[in-house]
Structures are given as structure tokens and as C-alpha cells.
Structure 1
């Protein structure tokens, strides 16, 4: 855990844990009720491996979903918000941000007429400017931006695990339902019955959460919030450049 940064922990592993909770609980119950053996030892080791695998799947599927969402919504928010035709940010501020981009990436500022002719004509300029900002806004100084990025990554990756989680829950409910139906034949004790009912209840509640709370719209909202904060981070650099240098204090000389 010490080797994980804040983003990796909250945006990748938290969604993986949340998406696999019913399966982890079921596995933990099986391990706790079985006598210790090589099989239970392997099952115990499988828990962190399962979470790691889920985090990796979430990131890969989330990135594919990201590209699909951008294509459906007209482009990356950090790019579309900088277009002349977008009204998210005021025109005067965007003019200053474009000038700042131009000074950092050594490209001329796009012309409004070119955008009117082809709305995506100058997106490469905004893409390069956004890339410069992402590379130069890492660190504690940009804590608000990091928080927005984590929220976006968390929602995107959780959306990537939505259907795998729902399918896993369906399998757990079916399996537990089978054991509860056959409990007489299997001589299932009361504790095992209660454990199975807990897994079923958790899987049902978890499925409702994944079905109704995890959505594409929530990812779009988070992506726009992050993009807006990323663009506004220009103010920090512009303010630093505009701040006058403090006059140096005269050195005191010792009297001879």
C-alpha cells in the first residue's frame, strides 16, 4: 500500500474493491468456514490478486469507454471548452488562456474564422496546451485539480466494471439460491444458511447500486469538472508570471 500514490489507490483500487465486494465477502466466508489447508491458503492469496486484476480490467475498459464517450459528446472536454463556440468559460478568459498556451507550445493562436469553417480544425492546439498543463500541474500545489482527476478516474473505472460486477452478482445469487434450495439434501447448518442469505442480500443491494448509481452521465459530469479545473489552472501560471519581483533588501554593513 505504501507504494501506491493517491490517484492509483482512489481511482483504480477503490473502484475495484467496490465492484468486487460481494465476491470478496463470499470468498472470505468460504475461507473462514473451511479448515486451513493448502486450498484455503491459495484462496486467501486469491483475494488481493482478484482486486489487482479487477483494477487492471477497470483501467483498460475505462479507457475504451472514455474514447467512446468523447466521440459521442464531440471531443475531449479540455479541448471543446477552449473552442470559440463553447460558452462554458467566458471569452475574455479563454483569450488569455490561448495566449498562454501559445507561449508554452510555440504555436500561433487559432483563428475564430477557421473554427467556424471546421469546428475541429484547431483542436490539436488545444490538445497540446492541455497536455502541457497536465504535465506541469502535478504536485500538492494543485490539490483541487488532483481531487477532480481522482473523481473522474474513479467514476470512469467503476463504469468499466459495471457489467462484470452485475454478471458476477447474478452468478453469486444463482449459486447461493441453489445451495439454499438444496440445503435439506446438503445438510446445511444454520450458520451456513445465514451466510448464504447475507451474500444474496449484499449482491442484490450491490446490483441496485451498480445499475442505478454508476452511469455514463456521472462520468461525463466528472470529466467536465476536471477539464474546467485543468484549464483554470492557467491562472496560477499567469499570475506567477505577472507578479512583480520583490526588491531585494539592502545588505547591512558592519561599522568599522
Structure 2
């Protein structure tokens, strides 16, 4: 169980999004803990707390990511792998797609829907495409398909990050508000006393300032890097990589 949880996909696609989401919390904890006193005890507490939170949130991210994925697939008009194999989709040009169809017919199955079949029975056509895609997934498990694994990890990372977006933004907002309150409660100077106010800003505990800066950075990261557009981008990249493995397999 432990070995399964700590495989490459789980670590990079599930744990890293959680670690990034928890950065502000971990930084806040570090700023309040006096690591010069009770170093070992404090370190153990932080490590245990971090591992538990990361584990629980990674399970949540996976579950929530799978739920969101269903809605995203509807928005995308089907899985990218299935969509790209359709005759009506122009992501892969016709000449290239005919080569892919030919390789699949010669080595995998001759049950590839025609254009008319696809138009008349789109659901049945998608079922055939899904069978092809699932077979490709089964045949591309191994170190020689590391690029495919990399693309799958990238997609998983963005999907699971997107699942954590609301939680992560809430964490950043609450920490920024909390730091603001603590700063102004302890600030002995008025805004009008600009010189002393700035001086006080620089004598505040360094870890406090770093935590505030990191939290702001994380807020903008979750706002502008973790988007539906990027989830789709990496889903499409993985889909193309999987379809193109037909050249490597056969």
C-alpha cells in the first residue's frame, strides 16, 4: 500500500499539488515555531502534521479531480483521445489520421467507424474509439513509454490542482487576512508616520514577511496557472502522445 502510494504518478500528480497548496500553511507554521528551541520536537511535529495533511488532501484531490473530470469531458465533447480519432475532428490532419487508422486496422482491429457510421451513430462510434484507446493504454505500460507517462503525470497534476483550487485560494486569502491583522495590531505607528511605518516593516520578523510574500505568490499562481484552459491543454497533449504511440508499438 505504501509503495503503491509513493509511486511516481502519485508523488508528482497527487502529492505535489497538495504540497504547493499547503506552502502558505507550512511557511506560517515555520514562522511561529522557534526552531532554535526544541528543534527535534518541533521538526517531528511539523513533519507528522505535514505528512497527514498531504496524504488526506491527496486522496481528496484525486476524488474531486475525478468528479471534475466528468464535467470537463462533457465540456470538451468527449475524451480528447476519442475526439481526436473521430473523422470530424481536425486536430490531427486527414493524411496523418488515415496512417493511424491503417496501422490500427493492420495490428489491432478493423472495427474503425466510417464517416457515415460516425455521423449516423456517434455514440456507437465513440464506443469503438474508446476500445481502441483502452487497448493502447494497456499496451503502453513500460519504461519505453516514459514520455507518455510524463504527459499523463502533467495532466494529472493540473487536473488535481484544479480540484484543489478553491481550497488553495481560500487558504491564501485567510492567511493574508490573518497576517494583515497581526501586523496592524502590533504596528505602533500610524500610516501618516510613513518613515517609522516603513522602518517597522523592515524590523518585522523576516519569516513573517517571507510568509506574506509567498502567500501572495501562491494566490496568483492558483488564479492564473491553474485554469480549465491549462487542464485541457495537458489533456490534449496526453491524448496526442497516446495516439502517436501506434508508430512506436507497431
- TM-score tier by shorter-chain length is 0.7 to 0.9
2:246 alignment partner in structure 1: 234
2:184 alignment partner in structure 1: 181
Instruction: Trace 1:112-123 onto structure 2 (pairs within 5 A).
Output: 112-123=115-126
Q: After superposition, what is the alpha-carbon deviation per residue over 1:30-54, rounded to whole angstroms, capped at 9, x for unaligned?
A: 33359549x9554541111112222
Instruction: Give the drift of 1:102.
Output: 5.6
1:12 aligns with 2:24: no
Q: 1:217 aligns with which of 222, 229, 232?
A: 229
Q: Secondary structure at the match of 1:84?
A: coil
Higher RCO, 1 or 2 (CA under 8 Å, sep at least 6)? 2
2:196 alignment partner in structure 1: none
2:198 alignment partner in structure 1: none
Instruction: Give the drift of 1:154.
Output: 1.1
Instruction: Give the drift of 1:82.
Output: 0.4
2:209 alignment partner in structure 1: 197
1:55 alignment partner in structure 2: 58
Distance 1:135 1:31, change over 3 A: farther
Count of aligned pairs: 235
Instruction: Give the drift of 1:95.
Output: 3.8
| CA distance in structure 2 between the partners assigned to 1:34 and 1:118 by the alignment | 70
Query: Greater shift after overlay, 217-226 or 138-147?
Result: 138-147
Query: Retained in 1: the 8 A contact 2:77–2:83?
Result: yes
1:251 alignment partner in structure 2: none
What's the TM-score, normalizing by structure 1? 0.80
| CA distance in structure 2 between the partners assigned to 1:50 and 1:35 by the alignment | 24
Query: Greater shift after overlay, 75-84 or 169-178?
Result: 169-178
Q: 1:139 aligns with which of 136, 142, 153?
A: 142
Distance 1:59 1:103, change over 3 A: farther
Structural RMSD (CA): 2.9
Query: Retained in 2: the 8 A contact 1:105–1:128?
Result: no
Instruction: Trace 1:150-169 onto structure 2 (pairs within 5 A).
Output: 150-169=153-172
1:25 alignment partner in structure 2: 27
1:254 alignment partner in structure 2: none
Q: After superposition, what is the alpha-carbon deviation per residue over 1:173-200, rounded to whole angstroms, capped at 9, x for unaligned?
A: 1222222222269xxxx97644333222
| CA distance in structure 2 between the partners assigned to 1:180 and 1:193 by the alignment | 10
| CA distance in structure 2 between the partners assigned to 1:234 and 1:105 by the alignment | 10
Unaligned 5+ segments in structure 2 are 189-201
Instruction: Give the drift of 1:218.
Output: 0.6
What's the TM-score, normalizing by structure 2? 0.82
Unaligned 5+ segments in structure 1 are 239-256
**Greater per-residue helix proportion:** 2
| CA distance in structure 1 between the partners assigned to 2:52 and 2:203 by the alignment | 28
